Amino acid sequence: MTKTFAVIGDPIDHSLSPNIHNSAFKELQIDATYIAYRIPKDELSAGIEALKKIKITGFNVTIPHKIGMMEFLNVIDDDCKLIGATNTVTNDDGNLTGHNTDMDGFLDPIKKRDLSCKGANVLLLGAGGAARAIVAALAKEKANKLVVANRTKENAVQLVQFANSLKLDATNTDFGSAGDTASQFSFIINATSIGLKGEPCPISTQNINKDSVVYDIVYMPMKTQLLTQAKSRGATIIYGYEMLLAQAMRSFEIWFGKKAPFDAMKKTLLGGF
Ligand code: NDP
């Protein structure tokens, strides 16, 4: 029988996930299909019942359901528990298991470049859901020190508390002047949504230098202003699409227990830009 997969969220029309996963199924000749399913914020319970009725094999979860989905899970894996949110679910006869591929997805492009966050001083811009997964990843990798800069200070303070609870030395700093301190950090990560609409850089890039790794998790457009300017200053840059791809591959591997077809999935993803 054809296996069915989905990504749930709202809005969902522009999700790249169906194309990426369907290309993987095609490449490996797997009898499966992956759809985008819009579930409004207050209709999650009914939406999940509908997915169970069609005997969905697995699904990805995106904004606004990553946290809300947790209460519908029967089993929660370690990463998911740590972050307090899920983005990948498997369905075994109505029994739902939650995973979170954000942490591994974030770390994968770093590891692929033979870089490491171990012992690194990190400037993290943003304090939303993605930033929380990044903090968990930095704690797992034993970063030396984290500084969080966010528009809304209370959210930065909460994220710092979360980092401290994971034994990661963290403080917060003013968002407006964070760029001035850029040369003190070996990793500068943008986890705000600034760049999505082609906005200028979230921080001033004057003090970014060739010793920095600048990682922008915004993946649309592929080359954000931040990455373009960081590159011109000689920094190593990491694109947001790399994290997106690594996450999709990890979901595939959770569902199928075998290696995802990297080349086919990457080609489809880059074709979507
Ligand atoms: P959230 O809505 O949870 O967080 C948004 C963050 O951006 C908050 O820190 C918010 O600050 C900040 N922000 C939003 N608008 C502005 C602004 N105009 N000026 C300053 N700060 C702003 O979103 P997520 O954490 O889920 O996602 C953040 C971004 O990361 C999105 O662009 C998303 O597409 C991308 N992403 C990429 C992934 C990938 O695989 N590459 C995976 C997940 C997300 P405040 O607290 O003040 O509101």
Note the pLDDT of residue 273: 73
Note the pLDDT of residue 89: 98
* Sequential DSSP letters for 36-99: EEE--GGGHHHHHHHHHHTT--EEEE-TT-TTGGGGG-SEE-HHHHHHT--SEEEEETTEEEEE
With the most atoms of ligand 1 within 8 angstroms of its CB, the residue from 67, 104, 123, 192 to mutate is 192
With the most atoms of ligand 1 within 8 angstroms of its CB, the residue from 65, 67, 189, 193 to mutate is 193
CA–centroid distance, residue 125 to ligand 1 (Å): 9
The two structure tokens encoding residue 59: 């699904």
- Class of the CATH-defined domain 3-100+244-271: alpha beta
- Class of the CATH-defined domain 103-238: alpha beta
Active-site residue flag, 66: yes
- Kindly list the domain boundaries of the chain, sorted by start residue: 3-100+244-271, 103-238
Local confidence pLDDT in tens for the 273 residues of the chain: 999 999 999 999 989 999 999 999 999 999 999 999 999 999 999 999 999 999 999 999 999 999 999 999 999 999 999 999 999 999 999 999 999 999 999 999 999 999 999 999 999 999 998 999 999 999 999 999 999 999 999 999 999 999 999 999 999 999 999 999 999 999 999 999 998 888 889 999 999 999 999 999 999 999 999 999 999 999 999 999 999 999 999 999 999 999 999 999 999 999 877
Please give the model's pTM, rounded to 2 decimal places.
0.95
Secondary element (H or E) of residue 220:
none
Name the residue among 188, 196, 184, 191 with its Cα closest to residue 225. Answer: 196
Asked whether this chain's domains 3-100+244-271 and 103-238 adopt the same fold, the reply is yes
Note the pLDDT of residue 198: 82
Q: What is the DSSP letter of 31?
A: -
In contact, 206 and 177? CB cutoff 8 Å? no
CA–centroid distance, residue 95 to ligand 1 (Å): 31
Q: Which atom in ligand 1 lies closest to the alpha carbon of residue 132?
A: 25
Give phi and psi for 194, each to the nearest 5: -70, 125
